[in-house]
A = this chain, B = another copy of it.
Amino acid sequence: MDFLSFFLMDFVKQLQSPTLGFLIGGMIIAALGSQLQIPESICKIIVFMLLTKIGLTGGIGIRKSNLTEMVLPAAFAVMIGILVVFIARYTLAKLPKVKTVDAIATGGLFGAVSGSTMAAALTLLEEQGIKYEAWAGALYPFMDIPALVTAIVVANIYLNKKKLRAAAYSTMQESFDKQKDPAGNRVKIWPIIQESLQGPALSAMLLGVALGLFTKPESVYQSFYDPLFRGLLSILMLVMGMEAWSRIGELRKVAQWYVVYSVVAPLLHGFIAFGLGMIAHYTTGFSLGGVVILSVIASSSSDISGPPTLRAGIPSANPSAYIGASTAIGTPVAIGLAIPLFIGLAQTLGGG
């Protein structure tokens, strides 16, 4: 069977999976004006349980695995997280009518990772019977934090330079004031890292990793977090589908270039990650399932931990630009196109 027909069959099959079925179902009922609401507190506990489960899986996996295996993929994850921001800085930000800070913030959100998208990929990999390292989910923070930190740092550097240039044309007095308090304009990296780690998403996942590493949580993992995972994800997918639909309007207010970026960027980032992952595959035996996960977390854009971090770190950026781009277009592209694409690629390479 040739690649295209295999890919198409697989794509249709994945559209019928509960994960994508509930996402599309959510978009459809939102489009039809459904009054269904999943309470905010339920979404929070579902996200907690999903990320704790992913963390526990990672922690138990790391405890039982060869740690040296993880070094190269983790280093690649950090590299991708930083690179994605610079790609947005030198492509999206250069397009007409696009504000530079908005573009940098969007890059940060597309570099950051969606726990739900990753969860969808893990579930689909298991449904397809594709093996992956148990610690692969623990690559999440290695890409997420560098991306958000880089975005905030790059945005602040840009804003500082702009200010200095403006000051050069301005009165001496203002320029003098600026020099009096240079520390106020210096970008502080550690508080940004700390804020990311203290957010609900990364807290839950890193707690899971730590509990998996240092305690024996197997009994609650097997009786609770693991069996409930797919069902809880189906509810979250429904919510994300409804949200994606409701935010499509936000995008109309900003430059149409965001649409182009939001469709192209997840696939581009995914291919970069796939290439780096394949290097790890041939040099250190990183599994093909792991390569898919690295590609999917590169494709995904954050819809849980990212927006509040960026809103606090780059207050001058327009949230409807980056949230609209990420949730309304980036996430459906990552889940609906990137996941089946990279799973299909891995299956083709694995079978060949």
Which residue numbers of A lie inside 8 Å of B, CB to CB?
A: 15-18, 20-22, 25, 28-29, 32-42, 44-45, 48-49, 127, 194, 197-200, 203-204, 207, 210-211, 214-217, 219-220, 223-225, 227-228, 230-232, 234-235, 238
Contact = CB atoms under 8 A, between A and B. Distances in A.
Nearest to A233: B220
Given A29-B203, A230-B223, A215 B18 contact: yes
29 contacts: A15-B215, A16-B214, A16-B216, A17-B215, A18-B216, A18-B219, A18-B220, A21-B211, A21-B214, A21-B215, A21-B216, A22-B211, A25-B210, A25-B211, A29-B207, A34-B198, A34-B200, A35-B199, A35-B203, A36-B48, A38-B45, A38-B48, A39-B40, A42-B42, A219-B230, A220-B230, A220-B231, A223-B228, A224-B228
Contact of A216 (B17, B214, B223): B17
A253 to B, nearest CB: 26
A279 to B, nearest CB: 34
A238 to B, nearest CB: 8
Contact of A207 (B25, B37, B214): B25
Contacts of A35: 198-200, 203
Contacts of A231: 220, 223-225, 228
Given A18-B220, A211-B21, A234-B224, A39 B32 contact: no
A47 to B, nearest CB: 10
Contacts of A38: 44-45, 48
A148 to B, nearest CB: 14
A247 B85 CA distance: 41
Nearest to A41: B39
Number of copies: 3
A34 B230 contact: no
A95 B141 CA distance: 51
B219 A223 contact: no
Counting chain B CB atoms within 10 Å of each CB, which of A28, A199, A223, A230 scores highest? Answer: A223
A204 B36 contact: yes
A311 to B, nearest CB: 14
A20 B198 CA distance: 22
A200 B223 CA distance: 27
Nearest to A227: B223
B200 A36 contact: yes
A178 to B, nearest CB: 32
A70 B224 CA distance: 33
Nearest to A49: B235
Given A17-B215, A21-B217, 7 more contacts: A17-B216, A18-B219, A18-B220, A42-B42, A45-B235, A220-B234, A228-B231
A211 B25 CA distance: 7
A35 B199 CA distance: 5
Contacts of A44: 37-39, 42
Which 6 residue pairs spanning A and B have beta carbons closest together? A224-B231, A39-B41, A21-B215, A34-B203, A36-B203, A18-B220
Given A219-B230, A220-B18, A224-B228, A39 B45 contact: yes
Contacts of A37: 44, 200
Contact of A219 (B15, B20, B127): B127
